[in-house]
Amino acid sequence: MNSPIIDDLTWRYTTKSYEPTKKISAENMAIIEEALRLSASSINSQPWRFIILESDEAKQRFSNTFANKFFPNKPHATNASHIILFAHNTHYSKQDFEAVIDQNILDGRLTEDKKDDAVSKFSFADLYTEPNGYNANWTKAQLYLAFGNMLHVLARLKIDSTPLEGIDIQLVEKEFSQELEGFSCPVALAIGYHDESDFNAKLPKSRLPAEKVIKKI
């Protein structure tokens, strides 16, 4: 199939070993940050935080969270160029959504007189919100949209990556409690450039056949 999109998606793979001396350029990091910010979310809620670990000290703190489990993922913490912690608000509120609407007004999408009507669209989030305000299932779904979007963006930039659900969530949330501000971090992403020993770089891509996962009716 002749398509740059398919080329990118076939090129990307889960990197298992990083070359620690190869760093992502500041220019590419700026693109990555802006792509994260531009991710789509239900009612434009943006119930997320992206914590980018770039200093050796921050990456070492992440490495320390592999004290008890997921050891194969630990080397990425310090060998990858950067780590992105993907975090979501577990109690996304009407006040949080009001900040989005205020931004809409600042960006010229909405006039002040339409604000109350726009904020009332939070009723959609209410459908997924428990009486105590907990709506983490819904906000986590939004977070993974940004995550998937980022995998594609990285492929376009020819930057390697490793999705990391194999993290000790409790330890990560404890270590980065100040930066996470109460948000939950179910997944991280190591990004950088693979080294020669990465066995996964040489394996062929494998996916279920199209007829199993796509139904045309």
Ligand X SMILES: Cc1cc2nc3c(=O)[nH]c(=O)nc-3n(C[C@H](O)[C@H](O)[C@H](O)COP(=O)(O)O)c2cc1C
Beta strands 184-192 and 160-164: pairing type? antiparallel
Look up residue 214 and give its amino acid: I
168 neighbors 66 (Cβ within 8 angstroms) = yes
Task: Please say which residue, 160 or 175, places its beta carbon nearer to ligand X.
Answer: 160
Question: By the criterion CB under 6 A, which residues form the site for ligand X?
Answer: 13-14, 73, 162-166, 187, 205
3 state DSSP class of 164:
strand
88 closest CA partner among 157, 136, 39: 136
Task: Please say which residue, 135 or 162, places its beta carbon nearer to ligand X.
Answer: 162
What minimum distance in Å lies between the beta carbon of 169 and ligand X?
12
**Residue 203 structure tokens:** 């394996």
What minimum distance in Å lies between the beta carbon of 66 and ligand X?
11
Determine whether 112 is exposed, middle or buried from the number of CB atoms within 10 Å of its CB (0-12, 13-18, 19+). exposed
What minimum distance in Å lies between the beta carbon of 110 and ligand X?
34
In the complex, residue closest to ligand X by CB: 166
Task: Please say which residue, 202 or 215, places its beta carbon nearer to ligand X.
Answer: 202
What minimum distance in Å lies between the beta carbon of 204 and ligand X?
10
Name the residue with tokens 């997320």. Answer: 48
Task: Please say which residue, 9 or 110, places its beta carbon nearer to ligand X.
Answer: 9
